[in-house]
């Protein structure tokens, strides 16, 4: 719509997303803070479990596989001192003492302990080695059992953490989706005329789903990754600070790569969000207008338009793929460099007895663990950007109050009660959908209780707009509309609309049963009331032909029944409301003569004893009205009865001559 200043333009989002959107999610998450706290606690326990596994490997190697029971220097070869590692023997065990007695040359005493060289173990039989190393085997078995228990705990903690967090996230998204839906229900028509339905559907579906991923993947796993990174660095510094500092040399490169590639991926994510909405819009418009597309042979043209949007989406997806296809190998390359530095430096220190083999093995495990959360954080950062883009668009909707109909407060803020509509007065009303382009210009008219007012005029003269203002789908730019002498803005919209029933030229039916469509928005009726309503609406014979009668489910828009049958159901819906005022937007247009007769009779029943406003596209409809208002170019040009207007031979007379 030209001149639209409120419709948000997705392509203009060219700055980093505001992290304050995360704070705005807190009210939705607050009811589930206990679950989130439990999930974070489990994440901390999972982090501690992950950190303990390499340390257990280190203990197993240093204490049991290659125990540090002592070394002796045996001599020099090529000016290199040779170190021999020994294992302590427990002489309190009779079986061990027996082995020592059988091979006295292989064992020697050092102080209060008996030792055997690791090199001499090969001179013992397998069973004797088991006896000698029984303590080590028991230690390995104990560590293996501990390792298995930790793995089991890791599985259980992961399971419960994901269940709890998924439960909280689903409830948060449920609340957000309901808030968004409720807000949309209360937005005015001006908002919906400026924003395609498919775009709004995208907001309520895929954008909400992105925020679901924010809670289930990002928040918890960022906690885990940050805890894990911190824990790994602490453990590495505790084991050997010199080797830890050596491995940290690659960190500046890792940080620089993560920041650079995250910026590249952010733009791809933005484009994907825009193109997703455009694809949904194109699909929605194509399905809604498929009849026109096929009748005018526009399949190829529509296909080409969609192909362009789809290719743009594909290109954005490929850009995102290329970013990660480069980023991941870069991180892997830096990981290999860090591992190589550890193996080289740690290997030298192991050979010089400055470090144990177990410590080196733990370091290698930790450095591999170290780069895993770095990769995760970089990915989660991009997902965070995607989620923030969705949050930005959702809050754009939640923040808008465009077209929301407000009740003017009276004294204590309570709206005026409307027990019945007795008279209507439209006083000097001016309105335009677009600023500066007026559809109605200083329109004034009135109608008394029980009268029928017909509004006639050329297409675009403002007839339907006048009805939109009366039902408060829009608000006038100036002037006022009064019921019973009181401005309609003093009444709540619920109170006002409960007294008015609208039968349009092309009624909309929901994909519900006939019963639900008739009783839409009104309390449940008993069978006697329903029979009275359907009889007065001339629906009885039609319902009898339907397979499930009143419980027959209609397709979307009522496409499974004829336009005349849709009109009769909409008239029955008006009957069910028992309104004071009926508004008819030429309900008999484009109907066959037999159905038109039924509709005319149903309308006559509906109008009996009620105030009626008829938008008359066919002037014959206006002849029996109590009063006729003729609109031309948004202004009232004539008023009167059919006879007086024809006698005046003015605008109404010329319209009749033209129509005939």
Domains of the chain plus CATH, in order, are 18-24+170-399 (1.20.1560.10), 410-499+581-591+609-660 (3.40.50.300), 509-578 (3.40.50.300)
Bridge partners (DSSP) listed for residue 83: 73
Average pLDDT over residues 310-318: 86
pLDDT band at 382 (very low <50, low <70, confident <90, very high): low
- Number of neighbours of residue 136 by Cβ within 10 angstroms: 19
Cα–Cα distance for residue pair 45/153, rounded to 1 Å: 9
Average pLDDT over residues 223-233: 83
Average pLDDT over residues 120-137: 84
Q: What is the dihedral of CA 49, 51, 56, 62, to 10 degrees?
A: -170
Cα–Cα distance for residue pair 606/597, rounded to 1 Å: 14
Cα–Cα distance for residue pair 390/209, rounded to 1 Å: 9
| Among 642, 596, 591, 590, residue whose Cα is nearest residue 620 | 642
Task: Give pLDDT, residue 637.
Answer: 92
39 touches 164 (CB < 8 A) = yes
Of these ranges, 366-375, 495-504, 634-643, the one predicted with the greatest mean pLDDT is 634-643
Long-range contacts of 202-209 (CB under 8 A, 24+ apart): 202/276, 202/277, 202/280, 203/277, 203/390, 203/393, 203/394, 203/397, 204/177, 204/180, 206/276, 206/390, 207/273, 207/390, 207/391, 207/393, 207/394, 208/173, 208/176, 208/177, 208/180, 208/390, 208/394, 209/173
Task: Give pLDDT, residue 18.
Answer: 55
Which tokens belong to 2?
């030209």
Quote the distance between the C-alpha of residue 343 and its chain's center.
47
265 vs 34, which has greater pLDDT? 34
Average pLDDT over residues 494-512: 83
Task: Give pLDDT, residue 407.
Answer: 58
Task: Give pLDDT, residue 589.
Answer: 54
Task: Give pLDDT, residue 145.
Answer: 93
- Number of neighbours of residue 139 by Cβ within 10 angstroms: 17
136 touches 67 (CB < 8 A) = yes
Q: For strands 486-487 and 478-483, give the pairing.
A: antiparallel
Task: Give pLDDT, residue 588.
Answer: 57
Bridge partners (DSSP) listed for residue 220: none
Task: Give pLDDT, residue 475.
Answer: 86
586 touches 468 (CB < 8 A) = no
Cα(first)–Cα(last) distance of the chain, in Å?
Answer: 35
Predicted TM-score (pTM) above 0.85: no
Bridge partners (DSSP) listed for residue 431: 440
pLDDT band at 4 (very low <50, low <70, confident <90, very high): very low
Task: Give pLDDT, residue 8.
Answer: 43
Helix%, strand%, coil% for the chain, nearest 5 = 65, 15, 25
Q: DSSP state, 61? A: I
Which tokens belong to 357?
């083999």
pLDDT band at 441 (very low <50, low <70, confident <90, very high): very high
Which tokens belong to 162?
């994901």
| Among 271, 269, 266, residue whose Cα is nearest residue 310 | 271
Query: Is residue 23 scored above 50 in pLDDT?
Result: yes
Query: Is residue 294 scored above 90 in pLDDT?
Result: no
Half-sphere exposure (Cβ direction) of 270: Cα atoms closer than 13 Å: 16
Task: Give pLDDT, residue 639.
Answer: 92
Query: Is residue 202 scored above 60 in pLDDT?
Result: yes
Read off φ and ψ for residue 75, nearest 5 degrees: 150, -165
Query: Is residue 335 scored above 60 in pLDDT?
Result: yes
Which tokens belong to 23?
């704070």
Query: Is residue 164 scored above 80 in pLDDT?
Result: yes
Tokens 């359907």, residue located: 534
Average pLDDT over residues 240-264: 81
Q: DSSP state, 118? A: G
Q: Measured between alpha carbons, how far is residue 392 from residues 168, 185, 206, 399, 541 in Å?
A: 21, 20, 13, 10, 53
Give me the sign of the Cα torsion angle 617, 619, 625, 631: positive
Query: Is residue 280 scored above 50 in pLDDT?
Result: yes
Query: Is residue 409 scored above 70 in pLDDT?
Result: no
Q: Can you give 417-485 as a three-state secondary structure string? A: CCCCCCEEEEEEEEECCECCECCEEEEEEEEECCCEEEEEECCCCCHHHHHHHHCCCCCCCEEEEEECC
pLDDT digit string, tens, across residues 548-572 = 888 888 877 677 788 888 888 888 8
Query: Is residue 601 scored above 70 in pLDDT?
Result: yes
| Among 56, 61, 66, residue whose Cα is nearest residue 88 | 66
Task: Quote the longest CA-to-CA distance of the chain.
Answer: 139
The torsion region of residue 75 among left (phi > 0), alpha (psi -120 to 50) and beta comes to left
Cα–Cα distance for residue pair 578/581, rounded to 1 Å: 9
pLDDT digit string, tens, across residues 5-18 = 444 444 444 444 55
Query: Is residue 430 scored above 90 in pLDDT?
Result: yes
Q: DSSP state, 219? A: I
- Mapped onto helix, strand or coil, the DSSP state of residue 84 is strand
Tokens 């362009």, residue located: 308
């Amino acid at each position: 719509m030209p001149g639209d200043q409120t419709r948000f333009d997705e392509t203009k989002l060219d700055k980093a997303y505001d992290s304050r959107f995360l704070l705005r999610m807190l009210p939705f998450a607050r009811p589930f803070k206990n679950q989130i706290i439990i999930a974070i606690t489990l994440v901390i326990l999972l982090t501690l479990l992950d950190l303990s596994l390499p340390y257990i490997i280190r203990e197993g190697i240093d204490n049991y596989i290659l125990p540090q029971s002592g070394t002796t220097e045996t001599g020099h070869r090529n000016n290199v001192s040779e170190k021999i590692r020994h294992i302590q023997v427990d002489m309190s065990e009779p079986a061990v003492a027996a082995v020592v007695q059988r091979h006295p040359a292989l064992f020697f005493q050092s102080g209060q302990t008996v030792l055997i060289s690791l090199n001499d173990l090969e001179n013992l039989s397998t069973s004797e080695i088991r006896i000698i190393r029984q303590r080590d085997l028991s230690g390995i078995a104990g560590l293996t059992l501990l390792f298995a228990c930790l793995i089991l705990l890791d599985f259980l903690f992961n399971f419960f953490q994901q269940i709890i967090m998924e439960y909280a996230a689903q409830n948060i998204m449920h609340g957000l989706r309901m808030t968004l839906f409720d807000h949309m229900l209360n937005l005015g028509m001006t908002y919906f005329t400026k924003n395609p339905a498919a775009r709004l559907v995208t907001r309520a579906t895929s954008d909400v789903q992105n925020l679901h991923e924010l809670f289930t993947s990002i928040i918890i796993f960022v906690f885990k990754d940050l805890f894990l990174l911190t824990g790994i660095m602490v453990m590495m510094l505790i084991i050997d600070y010199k080797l830890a500092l050596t491995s940290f040399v690659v960190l500046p490169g890792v940080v620089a790569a993560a920041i650079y590639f995250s910026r590249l991926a952010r733009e791809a994510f933005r484009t994907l969000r825009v193109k997703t909405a455009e694809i949904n819009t194109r699909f929605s418009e194509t399905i809604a207008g498929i009849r026109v597309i096929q009748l005018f042979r526009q399949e190829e043209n529509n296909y080409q338009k969609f192909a362009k949007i789809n290719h743009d989406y594909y290109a954005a997806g490929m850009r995102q793929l290329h970013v990660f296809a480069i980023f991941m190998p870069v991180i892997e390359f830096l990981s290999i460099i860090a591992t190589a530095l550890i193996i080289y430096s740690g290997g030298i220190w192991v050979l010089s007895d400055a470090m144990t083999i177990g410590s080196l093995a733990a370091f290698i495990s930790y450095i591999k663990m170290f780069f895993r959360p770095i990769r995760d954080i970089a990915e989660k950062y991009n997902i965070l950007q995607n989620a923030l883009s969705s949050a930005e668009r959702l809050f754009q909707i939640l923040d808008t109050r465009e077209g929301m109909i407000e009740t003017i407060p009276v004294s204590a803020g309570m709206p005026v009660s409307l027990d019945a509509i007795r008279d209507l007065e439209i006083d000097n009303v001016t309105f335009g959908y677009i600023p500066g382009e007026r559809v109605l210009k200083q329109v004034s008219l009135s109608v008394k209780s029980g009268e029928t007012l017909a509004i006639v005029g050329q297409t675009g003269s403002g007839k339907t707009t006048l009805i939109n203002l009366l039902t408060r789908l829009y608000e006038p730019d100036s002037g006022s509309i009064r019921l019973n002498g009181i401005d309609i803005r003093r009444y709540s919209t619920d109170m006002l609309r409960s007294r008015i029933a609208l039968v349009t030229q092309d009624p909309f039916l929901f994909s519900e049963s006939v019963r639900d469509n008739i009783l839409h928005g009104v309390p449940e009726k008993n069978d006697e009331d329903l029979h009275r309503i359907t009889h007065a609406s001339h629906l009885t014979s039609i319902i009898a032909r339907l397979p499930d009668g009143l419980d027959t489910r209609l397709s979307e828009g009522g496409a499974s029944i004829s336009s005349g049958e849709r009109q009769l159901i909409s008239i029955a819906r008006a009957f069910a409301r028992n309104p004071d005022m009926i508004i008819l937007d030429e309900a008999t247009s484009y109907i066959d003569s037999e159905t038109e007769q039924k509709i005319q009779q149903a309308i006559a029943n509906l109008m009996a004893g009620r105030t009626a406003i008829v938008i008359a596209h066919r002037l014959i409809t206006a002849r029996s009205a109590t009063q006729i208002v003729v609109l031309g170019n948004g202004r009232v040009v004539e008023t009167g009865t059919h006879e007086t207007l024809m006698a005046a031979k003015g605008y109404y007379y010329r319209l009749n001559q033209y129509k005939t």
